[in-house]
Amino acid sequence: MREKSTPPPSFWAKVPVDPEFDQWLTVRFSHRVLVVVRTVTTLTRLLDVVSLLKDDPRVQVVFTHNEREPAILSSGVSEFLASLDAKVISWDQAVETRFDLAIAASENDELHRLKAPVLLVPHGIGHQKHYPHQPVISGLNPARLVRDGHVVPSRIGLSHSNQLRYLRQNCPQAEPHAVVVGDPCHDRMLASLHRAARYRRLLDIGDRKHVVLASTWGPDSLLGTDPGLPARLLTQFPVDEYKFSLIVHPGAWAAHGPWQLRAWLSRALRAGLAVIPPQRGWQATVVSADCLISDGGSIALYAAAAKIPVLIGSREPATVVPDSPLADLLARAPRLDIERDLREQVDRAGATEPLTDVAEQAVEFSGKCAELLRPVLYELMGLPEPDARAVFRPVPDPVPDVTEPTTFSVEVRQHADHVAVTRFPTEQVEQTAASDRHIVAHEELSTLDDLEGADVVYCEFTGEDADFDGWAREITRRRPDAGLIAGIGVDRCLLWSAGKPVVQLTTPGEPLPAISAYHWRRNRDLPATGSFRVREGHRARNVVASVLTE
């Protein structure tokens, strides 16, 4: 009997799940696969698995999730599925419909109700953690794996054979159902290593060091340990030498909501932090990293496997399985000490050898997952495999949520053959009073507080040269404390200061460091025109200053 709140079958999807309506189909597939989604995290993993079925017109894939009894951290699932344009059916229909295969990445749904052979895969890098406040290993709950004396999953995919001991100890009845297939996410990242330069371009890294922050969910995560860490890092590292990106576990997005997370991160966002959406892009971001600051989440192991150095910035998590690869990594990786020089620690960590030997204990058959996993899928469906070789495609491009900083605290130093310019976001207020620093702020995009103390005010200027003087004077009227007004053009900038002729600055690349160098030289009565050399970060270029009008 259906419950009263269950929609009658007349409201259920007819195609492509009900064989009685196959005459309405365009592609006459022979097998139906159900993807059981519990959270955004599980969906990202399941998409890796079902990608092995993409090119097979014999197979129709549909998705379901239990909206009436959702997971605690299920927020965002419906929106993610909608963004995929996936065919989604209700859980009530899913459990009443026969499928040739069901794939799940969590044992916590009522998989025993499904009319299909079930493949259960982990939703992280193997099985490294206990459920909170429980001795049960996440993903291998005996009470869920066995129902009425029968093992529910037909196959249990493991990333490494050393995880068989967990089944042997806690659920021996399920051990014969286990199959070691490696890790699809890891292999997709391996298949993407050659795209690292592309990912860096899309993230606007340039020749800077890319430091990726990765926070799992819960109180022992990176953000749970220190919510202010991203802002503190960004305001203490030069923007022309370091780029910071943040990956937050989908569970944290689900628990607090995207608006709240961004609100807590607003200071770091103003300083230029790139936030990676939870649905896609985190793998590419890790591949493009020079160093990862992480916690006890799976990303630390994925980074180590991709030969990225890892620095631990969180408390010791209580849920990590003892003697697991993750426990080994947390014991051996260097730890971030917020009381010491952060830049020195990040630089030192980035120069260390990655802990790839630890990752090898988490993922077996590296690079072979597709050819091991696809036969399991087709065996469970009772369908011959396609002739084409099984491979995983590279991971999607990152699409970060980022706003470039518009206000800077700038330090200038004279060297023998160049002027070195070092820029920080102005959140570093306590250091801006130093005599060798000045504030550079955007006339329209900076805040009024930033503009009040700005020594240099800049804005885009596309008018005629003859109009620049009046344009600059109008800005000066609003910002009387500014000593220099800069109009940014396509391949040059114009500079105005009271009682001085308009100067044209010609330089390749980013103009703001050159403007700061000019401002510093002028304040020290050095020649206002001529050629001088400027270095910011790893880049050095010649700057030419010439009088535009007398």
Task: Render pLDDT for 392-451 as a digit per residue (tens, 0 to 9).
Answer: 999 999 999 999 999 999 999 999 899 999 999 985 444 444 557 899 999 999 999 999
Q: Are 203 and 210 in contact (CB under 8 A)?
A: yes
Residue spans per domain, the chain:
9-186+366-381, 190-360, 407-547
Does residue 497 contact residue 457 with C-beta atoms inside 8 Å? no
The low-confidence residues of the chain, meaning pLDDT below 50, are 1-4, 428-433
Predicted pLDDT of residue 528:
80
pLDDT at 1: 37
Domain 190-360 has CATH 3.40.50.920: no
Q: Residues 364, 157: contact at Cβ < 8 Å?
A: no
The per-residue pLDDT for 182 is 97
Tokens of 24: 């309405």
Long-range Cβ contacts of 332-339 (<8 Å, 24+ apart): 332/358, 333/300, 335/311, 336/293, 336/311, 336/312, 338/226, 338/229, 338/232
Looking at residue 3, what is its pLDDT?
46
End-to-end CA distance of the chain: 91
The pLDDT value recorded for residue 181 is: 98
What is the per-residue pLDDT for 191?
Answer: 97
Q: So what's the pLDDT on residue 2?
A: 43
Residue 127: name the closest of 110, 105, 149 by CA. 105
Run of H or E residues at 487: strand 484-488
**What's the rounded Cα separation, in Å, for the pair 90 and 31?**
19
Tell me whether the CATH fold assigned to 9-186+366-381 matches the one assigned to 190-360.
yes
For residue 427, the model assigns a pLDDT of 55
pLDDT at 8: 59
> The whole model's pTM is what?
0.94
Measured between alpha carbons, how far is residue 364 from residues 28, 143, 168, 298, 332 in Å? 38, 27, 19, 15, 21
pLDDT of res. 7: 55
pLDDT at res. 367 = 96
pLDDT computed for residue 246 by the predictor: 98
pLDDT of 428: 44
Give the residue among 9, 70, 1 at the shortest CA–CA distance from 37: 70
User: Quick one: pLDDT at residue 132?
Assistant: 87
Strand partners, 90: 65
- What is the reported pLDDT for 549? 63
Query: What architecture is the 9-186+366-381 domain classified under in CATH?
Result: 3-Layer(aba) Sandwich (3.40)
Amino acid at 213: L
